[in-house]
Amino acid sequence: MTTVAELLKQKSAEIYSVSPNHTVFDAIKLMDEYGIGALAVVSGESLAGILSERDYARKVILKGRSSKETKVKDIMTAEVFYTSPEEDINACMVVMTEHHIRHLPVLENSKLVGMISLGDVVKDIIKEQKDKIKQLEKNISWGESY
């Protein structure tokens, strides 16, 4: 089983974040620049929340707000589900599925050390399954040679 720490080693070490006082426009611009769907919202060294494209669509566009005037703190999700580097990827998949979320911040000793996405988790689970299939095929062909 892959751990979150192992998954993070395969990704870029960059953690994209904004402060609660940034404008939503600046946050969305950053997401576009890096091709990501969510940003950690960090105040000092603490995780204050998460801002996703879904937050933007539902709390700015649908409410008729201005992204250049609205602050991140006004629309971010403050109750954030998170994981730790020691956690198993399958456990992360369960949390993400049960709570309909696509991004999990990774905290170690209350410090943000990374972010994983549903895509990262699915890709890793598929890789594990392919590896298991190869091993089973190898075992079957080895058994047939006798």
Say how far residue 64 (Cα) sits from the centre of its chain: 27
| pLDDT tier, 21 (very low <50, low <70, confident <90, very high otherwise) | very high
pLDDT tens column, 37-71: 999 999 988 999 999 999 999 999 899 999 999 99
| pLDDT tier, 135 (very low <50, low <70, confident <90, very high otherwise) | confident
pLDDT value of residue 13: 77
Using DSSP bridges, classify how beta strands 103-108 and 111-117 pair: parallel, antiparallel or unpaired.
antiparallel
List the structure tokens of 42.
Answer: 């960090």
Q: Is the pTM of this model over 0.95?
A: no
- Show me where the domains of the chain are located: 4-144
pLDDT value of residue 131: 86
**For domain 4-144, is the CATH number 3.10.580.10?**
yes
Contacts of residue 22, Cβ cutoff 8 Å, sequence gap at least 6: 71, 72
pLDDT value of residue 128: 87
pLDDT tens column, 63-100: 999 999 999 999 999 999 999 999 999 999 999 999 99
DSSP string, the chain: --BHHHHHHHS-S---EE-TTSBHHHHHHHHHHHT-SEEEEEETTEEEEEEEHHHHIIIIITTT--TTTSBHHHHSB-S---B-TTSBHHHHHHHHHHHT-SEEEEEETTEEEEEEEHHHHHHHHHHHHHHHHHHHHHHHHHHHT-
Number of other CB atoms surrounding residue 91 within 10 Å: 14
pLDDT tens column, 111-122: 999 999 999 999
pLDDT value of residue 136: 87
Region 6-34: what's the mean pLDDT? 93
